[in-house]
Amino acid sequence: MKGNPVFCKNHDHEGQTGQSIVIIALALVGLLAFVGIAVDVGFVFARTTQLQSAVDSAALAAVVELVSDPDDSTPANLKATQFFNTNGFDILVRLPSDTGVTHLGDGRSLGLNELGEIQYELTATWPVDLFFLRLIGQQSITLTRAAVAGVFPMADIYASRRIEDGVLSTSNQAVFGPESCTSMGDPFSPLGSPWAPGSYTYNYRILIPPDYPHDIVRVELFDPDSINQSGDTFEVQHTDLAQTDLGKPLFETLGCIVDFHNYYMQYQPCLIPTDEQSLGDQGNPFWFIRIDENRRPRSGTNSGCGAPPGNNYTPSYNTQTTFELFYWAQNADGTLSRIPLATYTGQVDDGTRDSGDHLTDMQWVSPGGQLSVDQPAEVPADCGSPNGGDYDAADCSSGTPIGAGNGFEVSISQDLGNILTDPATNNRFIYLDVTAISGSSENGYEIWAGPNAYVNDVPSDANRRNLYILDGQSGHRAEGVTVFGMGRLPLNSNVDFRVDIPLIYVGPESAGQTIYISLFDSDSGASPPINFYFDSIARADWEVTYSGTEGGRCAIGSCNNQWVDPAYEVDVPGDLENCDYSVPGDCTPFYGGRLVASYDGGSTDTYGWQIRLSGQPYLIR
């Protein structure tokens, strides 16, 4: 008899089933964790990209706010904050040092660098909430991203009205010594300056166009010393045009102006009027005798300056100024290197710092270069100048002998290896730094650059050179080489009448942009108004005039020891898409041109220009 089958329960298999459920549950948790990581990491990556884009854009928007004042980060930080908030980021941007307010953004101006570039650094943090990673305790993550944006705002200011032919006329450049006071008219060189405490350098750059037909660029300095000759009566020679049109004699004995300014005394400048002003730029309005001002040093931090005791010329007060020539070379990796060329230190003839043996007073010289036809003495570059010309036997016995292309005579092919070239224009630049290093007086000077083909014909003496050029004896031309002050230009007005001063060239791409122009220490005979116009547009069609104290500004002639603040604003015409046709000047086409200031600066008044024009911002990193 068959028995019934017996089914036995497998307790081992039942245990394995329970273990599988646990394993699967744990695997699902791990899988969810990995999925959560993948999702959240992807989310964080997207938010990181979004934040970086926002920081980059905010930095670009903010840096242009520094054009009017590179030292004030507040407007830039406000612009960055507005940009963040408009684009959905609750980020407040403040200075890194501002600990009084909770903020997620740090923004600061890095100021101006040697190339004239403003940089703005922005760092932002953004807390991002997570999703799946909360399951393992990670609630959020904080992202931090940074950017540095740059802009070139420093306009190239024409160093002279007569930069092409080098004629000395209605103004010259001038700096005061570090022991002077800003009330003398130089806002930066005095050590006690509230705008630039410590040593200060004025920066120039010299444009060499791509079609310049010569290899040599000769950089010349007029009167680089601060030495004043004595005397108050001199024989003046008139131009040919003054003889024919005004009936002037060839020679005439004239004297320095005698008035309360004491121009006839050695401590003061002396420009003898020739009565040729009516001839305009074809005449020679002055016979230049002295252009420097001998002044006593400060007695306080930035006060107590003035005429020397008893109005007696004191050489120990004279200002020593260095002129340093260099260029920027582009390395293979794209970085830039500053390459020094030559340096010259102007003399003071005080018997201690130097003996005045270079005889540069009222002369055009190129230190270390060839001598002009009537140059009274050799002028070597400073000892150790890389480009040579430092042949001073007394101070530099091992110096390089004089020769073509030495010192301030620069060979493009031999001396400017790998020079940085503007890719858009193929322009090249050499740079000149001017620094007052000792003394308390005014040192007037001028700068000209061009070929060296004239040294055997064109005189070194400033008055003879003026006559030589004005009488048409030589086509003394820079041939496109142009000297610019980089954003700032220290000037001394030589006349007490209105002069049209070319300031900067503005291209058509700047239509609609704002130019910020400020003057320092407009006093001592300066007279309002000041008019701005473009030489490519009829003044009847477009002109900007400031006549008084608009916007709380000090008035022309009443700005002793102060900047015109806020700066004059000149909106470049030509933005026809946004113009108001009810105001014809707003709808004036603009194809580029020189911005000119019609200004009466007053006789022998030292003052300063500062000009900024916003360009296109760009990311640096």
β partners of residue 432: 204, 325
Residue with tokens 């010349």: 220
Residue 6 lies in a domain: no
Phi/psi for 66 (5° steps) reads -90, -5
Q: Summarize the confidence of residues 38-66 as an average pLDDT.
A: 85
Q: Name the region of 426 (left: φ>0; alpha: ψ -120 to 50; beta: rest).
A: left
Q: Summarize the confidence of residues 408-425 as an average pLDDT.
A: 95
Q: Is the pLDDT of residue 7 over 80?
A: no
Do 276 and 376 fall into the same domain? no
Q: Look at residues 208, 114, 213 and name the one whose alpha carbon lies nearest to residue 430.
A: 208
Lowest model confidence (mean pLDDT) among 141-155, 179-193, 287-301 = 141-155
The alpha carbon of residue 381 and the mean position of all alpha carbons in its chain are separated, in whole angstroms, by 25
Q: State what percent of residues in the chain have pLDDT above 90.
A: 67
- Tokens for 455, please give them: 């040294």
On average, the pLDDT of the chain sits at 89
* CA Rg value for the chain: 33
Our count of domains for the chain comes to: 4
Residue with tokens 């959240």: 40
Q: Summarize the confidence of residues 447-454 as an average pLDDT.
A: 95
Do 312 and 460 fall into the same domain? yes
- The residue length of the chain stands at 621
Count of Cβ atoms closer than 10 Å to residue 158 Cβ: 22
The amino acid that residue 576 corresponds to is L
Q: Summarize the confidence of residues 504-530 as an average pLDDT.
A: 92
**DSSP-assigned states of every residue in 303-356:** ---BSPGGG---GGGPPEEEEEEEEEEEPTTS-EEEEEEEEEE----SSSS---
Do 124 and 249 fall into the same domain? no
The alpha carbon of residue 120 and the mean position of all alpha carbons in its chain are separated, in whole angstroms, by 17
Do 452 and 518 fall into the same domain? no
- Residues 330-370 have pLDDT tens digits of 999 888 999 999 999 999 999 999 999 999 999 999 999 99
Q: Which residue range(s) make up the domain with 508?
A: 496-621
Cβ atoms of residues 584 and 517 within 8 Å: no
pLDDT-based confidence at residue 566 (cuts at 50, 70, 90): very high
- The string over 534-572, giving b where at least 16 C-beta atoms fall within 10 Å of a residue's C-beta and e elsewhere, is beebeeeebebebeeeeeebbbbbebebbbbeebbebeb
Residue with tokens 């007029």: 222
Three-state SS letters, 115-147: CCCEEEEEEEEEEEECCHHHHHCCCEEEEEEEE
Residue 7 lies in a domain: no
CA–CA separation, 224 and 364 (whole Å): 9
Do 133 and 46 fall into the same domain? yes
The alpha carbon of residue 218 and the mean position of all alpha carbons in its chain are separated, in whole angstroms, by 22
Lowest model confidence (mean pLDDT) among 97-106, 329-338, 352-361, 444-453 = 97-106
Do 168 and 40 fall into the same domain? no
- Tokens for 21, please give them: 């459920």
Do 457 and 603 fall into the same domain? no
Name the domain boundary from 258, 273, 289.
289
- Tokens for 403, please give them: 């020769």
- Tokens for 131, please give them: 């999703």
Q: Is the pLDDT of residue 5 over 60?
A: no
Q: Answer with the residue of higher pLDDT: 77 or 398.
A: 77
Sequence-distant (6+) residues with CB within 8 A of 193 are 182, 187, 200, 302
The pLDDT of residue 297: 98
Q: Is the pLDDT of residue 434 over 70?
A: yes
Query: Would you give the end-to-end CA distance of the chain in angstroms?
Result: 96
pTM of this structure: 0.85
Residue 213 lies in a domain: yes
Residue with tokens 């190239």: 156
Name the domain boundary from 99, 127, 151.
151
pLDDT-based confidence at residue 394 (cuts at 50, 70, 90): confident
Do 193 and 278 fall into the same domain? no
Cβ atoms of residues 174 and 443 within 8 Å: yes
Residue 217 lies in a domain: yes
Q: Is the pLDDT of residue 17 over 60?
A: no
CA–CA separation, 182 and 520 (whole Å): 10
Angle at the Cα of 528 from the Cα atoms of 527 and 533, rounded to 5 degrees: 120
DSSP run (H or E) holding 411: strand 409-411
Do 131 and 58 fall into the same domain? yes
DSSP code of 273?
E
Distances, alpha carbon 399 to alpha carbons 216, 382, 388, 427, in Å: 21, 9, 7, 32
Do 560 and 611 fall into the same domain? yes
pLDDT-based confidence at residue 404 (cuts at 50, 70, 90): very low
Cβ atoms of residues 562 and 548 within 8 Å: no
The pLDDT of residue 129: 73
Residue 598 lies in a domain: yes
CA–CA separation, 118 and 57 (whole Å): 16
Cβ atoms of residues 528 and 570 within 8 Å: no
Phi/psi for 584 (5° steps) reads -55, -35
> What 3-state DSSP class applies to 488?
strand
Cβ atoms of residues 531 and 544 within 8 Å: yes
Residue 158 lies in a domain: no
Residue 136 lies in a domain: yes
Do 384 and 467 fall into the same domain? yes
**DSSP-assigned states of every residue in 564-593:** -SSPEEEE-S--GGG--TTSGGGG-----E
Phi/psi for 176 (5° steps) reads -105, 160
Describe the crossing of helices 11-63 and 74-86 by its angle, rounded to 10 degrees: 140
Sort 129 into a burial class: Cβ within 10 Å, 0-12 / 13-18 / 19+: exposed
Sequence-distant (6+) residues with CB within 8 A of 359 are 376, 377
Do 81 and 172 fall into the same domain? no
Phi/psi for 134 (5° steps) reads -65, -25
Residue 5 lies in a domain: no
pLDDT-based confidence at residue 613 (cuts at 50, 70, 90): confident
CA–CA separation, 176 and 141 (whole Å): 57
CA–CA separation, 346 and 227 (whole Å): 9
Name the domain boundary from 126, 151, 176.
151
CA–CA separation, 312 and 301 (whole Å): 24
CA–CA separation, 291 and 284 (whole Å): 16
The pLDDT of residue 615: 75
CA–CA separation, 549 and 558 (whole Å): 10
Q: Is the pLDDT of residue 379 over 60?
A: yes
The pLDDT of residue 70: 85
Cβ atoms of residues 140 and 129 within 8 Å: yes
Q: Look at residues 125, 151, 162 and name the one whose alpha carbon lies nearest to residue 140.
A: 125
